[in-house]
Amino acid sequence: MNKNFAKAEMFIRKDVAEVFQAMVDPAITTKIWFTKSSGKLEKGKNIEWEWEMYNHKVNVDVLEIVENQKIIFNWRNHDSPSIVEWKFNKIKGGTFVSVTNEIKHDTPEKLIAEVRDSTEGFTLVLANLKAYLEFNILLNLVGDRFPEM
């Protein structure tokens, strides 16, 4: 991994299998992250995610899936490819989830902006996931991040 990355982590009081499935199954991820998906995450597949409220689409190339342990994909968010790795660690009382996004840019300003945006974005996704899995609450943090002014 290069030294330029964004990272977000969260403890979720649910079994690792349930947390992992929530992130590969678009029936759940469309409630907490994006609004549409062309399919379930599976190794070797290219998936399209859409955030309808922002009129934004992203292509995701699924590079690796290790059941209940890891998801790695390459996505072209804002036309800048980057590798995202989700790790799921079973610990006492639940699952510790870590998301790392490797980021490369040609200027320090663009790099800093994307690290900031990615850290914030994945933190919101993890908080949404935690609220949904632990309390069955849909917080809509991603949808409410950029309201119309």
Q: What local confidence, expressed as pLDDT, does residue 65 receive?
A: 98
Q: What local confidence, expressed as pLDDT, does residue 1 receive?
A: 56
Q: What local confidence, expressed as pLDDT, does residue 51 receive?
A: 94
- Are 35 and 53 within 8 A, CB to CB? yes
Q: Using a CB cutoff of 8 Å and minimum separation of 24, what contacts does 20-24 make?
A: 20/67, 20/68, 20/69, 20/71, 20/88, 20/95, 22/129, 22/132, 22/133, 23/71, 23/86, 23/129, 24/65, 24/71
Residue 133 CB burial class (10 angstroms; 0-12, 13-18, ≥19):
buried
**Cα separation of the two ends of the chain:** 38
Q: What local confidence, expressed as pLDDT, does residue 2 receive?
A: 63
Q: What local confidence, expressed as pLDDT, does residue 63 receive?
A: 97
- All residue ranges of the chain with pLDDT < 50 are none
Q: What local confidence, expressed as pLDDT, does residue 5 receive?
A: 87
**Helical H segments across the chain, by residue range:** 16-24, 26-32, 108-135, 141-144
CA distance 57 to 55: 7
Q: Which two tokens stand for residue 132?
A: 């949904």
0.95 surpassed by pTM: no
Strands 70-77 and 56-66: antiparallel
Q: What local confidence, expressed as pLDDT, does residue 46 receive?
A: 97
Q: What local confidence, expressed as pLDDT, does residue 104 receive?
A: 81
Q: What local confidence, expressed as pLDDT, does residue 57 receive?
A: 93
Q: What local confidence, expressed as pLDDT, does residue 78 receive?
A: 60
Q: What local confidence, expressed as pLDDT, does residue 64 receive?
A: 98
